[in-house]
Structure 1
Amino acid sequence: MYYYDYHVHTTNSTDGKDTLMDVCQSAISKGVKEIAITDHFEPTQVNQEYVFYQPELFFKEIEEARQIFKGLLVIKYGVELGQPHIYPIYSEKLINEYPFDFVLASAHKIKGDVDFGDIDYTQANRSFYMQKYIDSLYELVQWGKFDCLAHFDLIKRYCARSGIKINLIEEYEEKITEILKEVIKKGKGIEVNTSGLRQYSAGLMPDWDILSLYKKLGGTHLTIGSDAHSAPEIGAGFQETVELLKKLGYKTVTLYKKRKPYEIAFSEYTNGKSA
């Protein structure tokens, strides 16, 4: 089967383990047809320009890889913006100045640069931080200058690492409905992130219940991403993800070119059609 992995990191991300060349070779060896390289752009209070991220180098490397792997792999210009609603000036400058194909947006941190992944979760504080996370998602969607919202219920990954299982929709269905309606209204999409299948939470992000609600509300724009931080993770968990989405009634997956979405049927998604 051929898949399209729309969330991939390289050593151009601080937490990426493998080079772009390694990532591309792994994708080809697995029969993956297309990848979007979505290295992190994550400003902080002390580094709002996020100097680690070098867009000129990023685009140069991808252009070189496109020439090397021409006819074997489609490589899309992507980026994962970390909490761009908190740092909109440099986030907007980046996506306005460079010709990205695809822009993911994530809520990794609370204002003040507190990372949701660095918190020691307990039964006593879980509700406090769940509310903080929901509020962050809402603010991110209100900002809205992205294409897809990444790993919608990310906080469950970190709670699970502390031995705490959560389900956002059980406690925040009204707010999640409001967020998803805004996503749909703005013509944006959500990502189905398979990395949770490889982690303590042992499930997709978002869970099937949020995906089901998105479908019920009329949402159609879905991308699938491995959130690979190493070359072997490319395309991981995609087969079971596609089967679940079919069971939920989805018929298409969304791809992007020059930030324009287009839908392809699952039959095309698994036989390698691209644009």
Structure 2
Amino acid sequence: MIEQKPETLIVECAHQVATVTLNRPEVRNAFNATMIAELTAVFRELSERDDVRAVALAANGKAFCAGADLNWMKEMAGYSDDENRADALRLADMLWSIYRCGKPVIARVNGDAYAGGMGLISACDIVIAADTAHFCLSEARLGLIPATIAPYVIRALGERAARRYFATAEQFDCATALRLGFVSEAVSEDKLDDTVQQLAAILCSNGPNAVRACKRLVQDIAGRELDTPLIEATAARIAQVRASAEGREGIASFLEKRAPAWRS
């Protein structure tokens, strides 16, 4: 359980799904040092909780996330090089905690996502967005670069599109984000909750260890050369899963025409 109530987040768990809601609507859910620390801690904890099978990352207010809080950025302008590096690493740790969370993470994008907000979305596994949402990698407008979020955004957006939107800082709509594959599914805002809930229920119906392993499989294999070591590594993974208790239970329940133990 979350030991201390977060200041910038709302964390709720129901029916094996944890919902982490950004709760700074007065600043369009822009993140500061507190939110970064809280997101890191919450996702690390949820990754290890047996009673959680999926996580939804949501936001209160009209925007999903406007990126970094401008007052916080103003403070950073006076930081030393070492302090700036340490601060950037804390942001990197937050993104990594979401990306490598042991549970699938669904981004519930209710509104606009700018700069670091796109980084948050990119670290998630599945993105359900309101069809009215807009996206922007706005750093270049401020003489900055989206460096810390780049590893995640380039994977989610694609290299060609990243070359354009990193440099131009253009805003693009949800239809474009869907076409580029940055958004998994676009729905009307009134259907966001139902769509996320239905998807979370599907994830929860599958073998929990298998879902975790599927997430790792994609992350570990994407972009790798198709060679003998990769072929041998994937063969070893499926052999290990087949011999696992969950794998044996899944096959047995299918043959016996009954629900597997993880659904009971």
Instruction: Give TM class, smaller chain.
Output: 0.3 to 0.5
Higher strand share: 1
RCO (CA 8 Å, sep 6+): is it higher in 1 or 2?
Answer: 1
Structure whose CA Rg is larger: 2
**TM-score, with length taken from structure 2:** 0.35
**TM-score, with length taken from structure 1:** 0.34
